Amino acid sequence: MKRYLTASTAILLLTSVLAACGGNNSSSGNSSPSPSPSPSPSNSNASPSASNTSKDKVTINLWAFTDEIPNMSEKYKATHPDANVEFKTTIIATTDGAYQPALDQALAAGGKDAPDIYAAEAAFVLKYTQGDASDYAANYADLGLTDQMVKDAGIAQYSVDIGSKDGQLKGLGYQATGGSFIYRRSLAKDTFGTDDPATIKNEIGPGWDKFFDAAAKLKAKGYGIVSGDGDIWHAIENSSDKGWLVDGKLHIDPKREAFLDLSKKLKDNGFHNDTQDWNEAWFADMSGTGKQPIFGFFGPAWLINYVMKDQVKDTNGDWAVTEPPTGFFWGGTWLLANKDVAKNDAKKEAVAEFIKWVTLDTSDTGLQNYWANGTMKDGEQGTKDSVASAVVMAKSNGTIDMLGGQNMFDVFVPANANASGKNLTQYDESINSLWRDQVREYTAGNKNRDKAIADFKQQVKDQLNIDSE
C-alpha cells in the first residue's frame, strides 16, 4: 500500500546514481543506451561522410523542461525551410526534480541518443556550465560562436558570466531576467508627489538604507513597501559580493547575512504584509486587495508579463518600472550543446546554427526579435519579454498597458547590465531554502539571531556535507 507510493517516489534516488553507473558502463563496454528502436531510420547513417551531398536530415536531440524551446524549434523550421534539420525533442518537467537526474543520465551515457542541445534553468544552470556536469558541455567557441558575436549582440554580462567556465562560454539564454522595481503609480504620487520612474529610482535607492527610508514614508501613509520578505531576497541574493561557497566552505556574505535584519525590520515595522511568494496573499497584493496597499514588487520582465498582468485587475495601468536599489536577476533559461556534437561536422553546423539563431541573432528574423515583440505566432500578439540582446531590445517596442504605456525596455537594458552572475553556486537552490527557513524562524521570534545562523550552518553540513568557514 504505502509502499507503492513511496517506492515510486524514491525511485528518483536511483536515477542520479545511475549517472555514475552509466559512466561506468560506457567505460566498461559499448552499452550505449538506445531507448528502444527509434522510428527514424533516416538518421542511422548520419556518420560524417566526406560527401555532404546526402539529403539525409541531421537529427538534433533537444532536451528541455518546458515546451518553450521545442516551440522555438518549430518556428526555426518554419522560418528556415532550407535548414536540413530534424528535432527530436524530449521534454521532462522540472517538477519533483525529475529533469536533472534524467538529463545527467543521458549525458553520462552518450551515444546517438545523447542530448545534443539541452536547456538549463537558473536554479541549476551552474551545475551544467561550471559545476559537476560542465565537462559535458561544448564551448561555444568550438561551435564557431565567437566572443565577438556575443559582444556585438550586446548580451547581458551576468548571463555570459553564468554561462562561462574559466572564460570559455558554454551556455547562453534568449531571455534576460535582470530585475526591476515595479511600483504603483498612484501610491507613488500620494507619497512622493510624483510617479516618474527617474525620481522614484532615487527615492527607493540606491542601497537598502534609502529603501527603508522610503518604506517609512510609505508606512506613514498607510502603505507597505513590499508584499513579503521573499520580494527583497532575490535582490539581496544576487547583489552579494560572494556566493554561498568560498573554497568549498560555506560562506555567509555580509550582505546576505543582513537579510536577517532587513527581514526583521520589515516585519517589526509592518513595512510588508508578511506574505510568501506564490501564495494567495502575495497575488492579492498585486491587485491591492491585501491587508494594506503594497507599493511594489521586485522582479524581471517575466514577472510583469506572466504573473502580474493577470493579477493586477483594477490596478491595470497604475504600474511603472524603475531600476531597483540594487542590481539583480531572477530566473532564466540557458542553452547548452553537448561537446560530442563537434565530432560530426554536419551536426555541429546544425546545432551551431540553431543556437546562434536563438541566442545571438539580432536580426529581425532572429528568435529574440520575435520574443521581445511577442510575435512568435503570426498575427497573434503574444507576450513581450526582455531578451538577452540589448541590441534587439533597443530596436523593439516594450510598451505595455499594465505599465500605463511605459516602454519597459528602457529600464530592463540597464537592469540586465547591472545584474551580477558571479555569486552563484550549484547548491543555491538547496542552501537558499534552508537559509530562508531559518530567517523566518528568526523573524517569527522562534529563535535568536545567533541560533538561527548556527542552525543554518548545521543543516547545510548535515544535508549537503559542506562545512562552514
Residue 202 beta carbon to another protein: minimum distance, rounded to whole angstroms: 30
- Alpha carbon distance 261, 450 (integer Å): 12
DSSP code per residue over 78-118: HH-TT--EEEEEEE---GGG-HHHHHHHHHHH-STTS-SEE
Question: Alpha-carbon distance 418 to 421, whole Å?
Answer: 10
Q: Are strands 296-299 and 180-184 parallel, antiparallel or unpaired?
A: antiparallel
The answer to whether 287 touches 312, Cβ cutoff 8 Å, is: yes
Beta carbon of residue 440, minimum distance to another protein (angstroms, whole number): 6
Shortest distance (Å) from residue 311 CB to another protein: 5
What is the per-residue burial (b if ≥16 Cβ within 10 Å, else e) of 344-360?
A: bebbbbbbbbbbbbbbb
Which amino acid is located at 238 in the chain? N
Nearer residue to another protein within complex by CB, 99 or 192: 99
* Residue 462: CB minimum distance to another protein, A: 3
Report how far residue 439's alpha carbon sits from residue 449's, in angstroms, rounded to the nearest whole number.
9
Minimum CB distance to another protein smaller for 67 or for 364: 67
Q: Which is nearer to another protein, 62 or 145 (CB)?
A: 62
User: Shortest distance, CB of residue 192 to another protein, whole angstroms?
Assistant: 27
CB of 352 to another protein, least distance (A): 25
Q: Which amino acid is at 443?
A: T
Quote the least distance from Cβ 32 to another protein, whole Å: 10
Residue 83 or 281: which CB sits closer to another protein? 281
Query: Which of 127/347 has CB closer to another protein?
Result: 127
Grid coordinates representing 320? Answer: 511603472
Nearer of residues 97 and 404 to another protein, judged by Cβ: 97
Nearer to another protein, 205 or 300 (CB): 300
Between CA 125 and CA 102 the distance in angstroms is 15
Environment class of residue 379 by beta-carbon count within 10 Å: exposed (0-12), middle (13-18) or buried (19+)?
exposed
